[in-house]
Amino acid sequence: MAMIRSDLGRRDFLASGGALAFTLATGGCEQILQDIANRPTRRNIAELASNDPILQTYRSAISQMQALPKTDNRNWTNQASIHYNSCPHGTWFLLPWHRAYLVYFERICQKLTGNATFALPYWNWTDNPAVPDVFYASGDVLNDTTKVLAKGTPIPAEFVSHSVLEGILEETNFQIFGSSKATTLRPPVGDGPLEATPHNNVHGLIGGDMGTYMSPLDPVFWTHHAMLDFCWVDWNFDRNNQNPNDPTWTDLTISNFFDENGNPVNIQTGITQLFPIFTYQYEPSQIGATIAKMLVRSQQQADQLKAFVQKGGSAEIPVRYRFALDRAQQVNVGHTATARIPVPAQSLHQLTEGAGANRLLLTLQRVEPPAAADFFVRVFVNAPETVSAATPITDPHYAGSFGFFLNGRAGMPGMAMGQAGYMVDVTTALQQAGAVGHADIQLVAVPYHGRPVAGRGFAVGGLELAVTELGLKKPN
């Protein structure tokens, strides 16, 4: 959470968030509670009938955007191209960039339809793991027919269950929760678990446009990212975790978006933290083990939220030791790749046991992505025998998984994004292994069920096991 810069001009602030944003920043309070209470509500799409006014407004907005000339920045394809050309993935700008993207898209919908109360619905894939039926209706503008995932097919619990999400939301460090520190939107640095698991796999499993950086062409994209934003709201406000106060994060100016009139806008990353307070709100829903519901019922609560946002905190990951394996590794579908990182047995025992136990984070470095995102990767540590795609995730040596999100699209060359990294917390898996003098990292590329595999594998440039001073997460 950023300090709101004292030199931020009134015009800039109004452009970034509306009059209420300026009220919050300057301390005016006469209308604050009423304005907060009346801000548009992002509702759970599972609670909406197919002809609900929210979905009717969404359909109307999409149809109007599709009819706009290519010279209009609000044109449907132009809006998707913003994502294709500029979206950050594998960096800690993932969440604020997409939050601003959704807000300006929402404003365009409001302006074109004349419905100032419209807010995007969200798809809670933890409660309702199948893509909502409205996105499959024949002839409906909500139906992008390029989808590969068949109607009614649930996203596997391994990616989106409440227990998986709770493990992610228990993370208190933003760099792990919200992906790795960077100074620019691109290239990628490293995916954290929120991005690597539910985000990437939902994109990849749905496929078609959703499996590419032109994913906003599929209307389900906006509901998927509304859910990811809801996760951030819950993590930030309901669970009281701090966003970075690092100027590298708070002061980055994003110039990719257009307002409701099609005019370009500039916005600082730090301002996006205020949006859930004054621009929109979420209908309460279960996320992880709890009900997410950020409520403001008094001026004191509003002031506390404002102060919390302004303060922020450190997102640095304090590292005590690093154990590295700087050797390339090929991981192929249908085979298990094993790489051994030497770690002194006694050191490992001391580091993972007792009151002074440390968190151990594994990073797959310089990952060369596959030709297609039609499989995901399970990570095991020191399994007693060869593991395979048939090994259940209940195996005590299972540490986590990640998926890929690629920038290609049929008939449209992908923009090279460079090599990325993936971070997995392996503390529990190493504790299960006991005091052995190594960490055997076993990578299993698992095809998505029922999908032909075009991406036969991927390459890893190196591995690093970092012993951090972060405290252990409580078990979920």
Q: Are 341 and 451 members of one domain?
A: yes
Q: Which of 56-60, 373-377, 418-422 has the highest mean pLDDT?
A: 56-60
Work out how many domains the chain is built from and give that number.
2
C-alpha span between 417 and 145 (Å, rounded): 27
Q: Is the pLDDT of residue 2 over 50?
A: no
Check: CB of residue 179 under 8 Å from CB of residue 92. yes
Q: Are 289 and 341 members of one domain?
A: no
* Residue the block writes with tokens 């993935």: 89
Check: CB of residue 393 under 8 Å from CB of residue 158. yes
Last residue of a domain, one of 264, 293, 311: 311
Last residue of a domain, one of 291, 311, 331: 311
| 3 located within any domain | no
| 473 located within any domain | no
Check: CB of residue 342 under 8 Å from CB of residue 447. no
Q: Are 240 and 282 members of one domain?
A: yes
Phi, psi of 452 (to 5 degrees): -65, 150
Q: Is the pLDDT of residue 352 over 50?
A: yes
pLDDT score for 277: 87
pLDDT score for 348: 67
| 278 located within any domain | yes
Write out the residue range of the structural domain in which residue 307 sits.
10-311
Q: Are 64 and 134 members of one domain?
A: yes
| 370 located within any domain | yes
C-alpha span between 265 and 195 (Å, rounded): 26
User: How many other C-beta atoms lie within 10 A of the C-beta of residue 293?
Assistant: 15
Q: What is the mean pLDDT of residues 137-159?
A: 97
Q: Are 277 and 348 members of one domain?
A: no
Q: Are 229 and 356 members of one domain?
A: no
**Closest Cα partner for 395 from 408, 409, 380?**
380
pLDDT-based confidence at residue 384 (cuts at 50, 70, 90): confident
Cα separation values, 311 from 108, 254, 308, 476, Å: 32, 22, 5, 29
Token readout for 239 is 């669970």
Q: Is the pLDDT of residue 143 over 80?
A: yes
pLDDT score for 347: 63
345 Cβ contact list (under 8 Å, min separation 6): 435, 436, 437
C-alpha span between 385 and 177 (Å, rounded): 31
Q: Are 226 and 300 members of one domain?
A: yes
pLDDT score for 321: 86
* Residue the block writes with tokens 């929760």: 177
In 37-194, the DSSP E strands lie at 41-42
Q: What is the mean pLDDT of residues 313-341?
A: 91
Check: CB of residue 468 under 8 Å from CB of residue 359. yes
Tens of pLDDT, residues 189-241: 999 999 999 999 999 999 999 999 999 999 999 999 999 999 999 999 999 99
Q: Is the pLDDT of residue 422 over 70?
A: yes
Q: Are 453 and 304 members of one domain?
A: no
C-alpha span between 299 and 372 (Å, rounded): 51
| 202 located within any domain | yes
pLDDT-based confidence at residue 409 (cuts at 50, 70, 90): low
Q: What is the mean pLDDT of residues 425-444?
A: 83
pLDDT-based confidence at residue 339 (cuts at 50, 70, 90): very high
Last residue of a domain, one of 292, 311, 330: 311
Q: Are 293 and 176 members of one domain?
A: yes
- What is the H or E stretch that residue 226 is in? helix 220-233
- Sheet of 375-381: strand order equals 336-342, 438-447, 375-381, 398-402
Q: Are 348 and 222 members of one domain?
A: no
* Residue the block writes with tokens 């085979």: 335
pLDDT score for 33: 74
Backbone Cα Rg of the chain: 22
Q: Is the pLDDT of residue 56 over 50?
A: yes
| Phi and psi based region of residue 81 (left: phi greater than 0; alpha: psi -120 to 50; beta: remaining) | alpha
Token readout for 473 is 């997460």
C-alpha span between 298 and 167 (Å, rounded): 32
Q: What is the CATH number of the domain that holds 147?
A: 1.10.1280.10
CA 172 to mean position of chain CA atoms: 15
Q: What is the mean pLDDT of residues 270-297?
A: 91
C-alpha span between 126 and 164 (Å, rounded): 9
Torsional sign, CA 368, 374, 375, 376: positive
- Residue 7: helix, strand or coil by DSSP? coil
Q: Are 281 and 406 members of one domain?
A: no
Token readout for 413 is 């060359």
The burial class, CB within 10 Å (0-12 / 13-18 / 19+), for 334 is middle
C-alpha span between 232 and 358 (Å, rounded): 25
C-alpha span between 277 and 331 (Å, rounded): 44
Q: Which of 136-140, 257-261, 393-397 has the lowest mean pLDDT?
A: 393-397
pLDDT-based confidence at residue 428 (cuts at 50, 70, 90): confident
Q: What is the mean pLDDT of residues 304-333?
A: 89
Q: Is the pLDDT of residue 88 over 60?
A: yes
pLDDT score for 22: 43
- Residue 133: helix, strand or coil by DSSP? helix
| 250 located within any domain | yes
| Share above pLDDT 70 across residues of the chain, in percent, rounded to a whole number | 86
Half-sphere exposure (CA, 13 Å, Cβ side) for 464? Answer: 16
pLDDT score for 65: 98
The pTM score is 0.91
Q: What is the mean pLDDT of the chain?
A: 87
C-alpha span between 380 and 275 (Å, rounded): 39
Between 355 and 375, where is the model more confident? 375
pLDDT score for 20: 46
Please, what is the end-to-end C-alpha distance for the chain in angstroms?
Answer: 26
Q: What is the CATH number of the domain that holds 419?
A: 2.60.120
| 455 located within any domain | yes
| 115 located within any domain | yes
Q: Are 120 and 168 members of one domain?
A: yes
Check: CB of residue 89 under 8 Å from CB of residue 191. yes
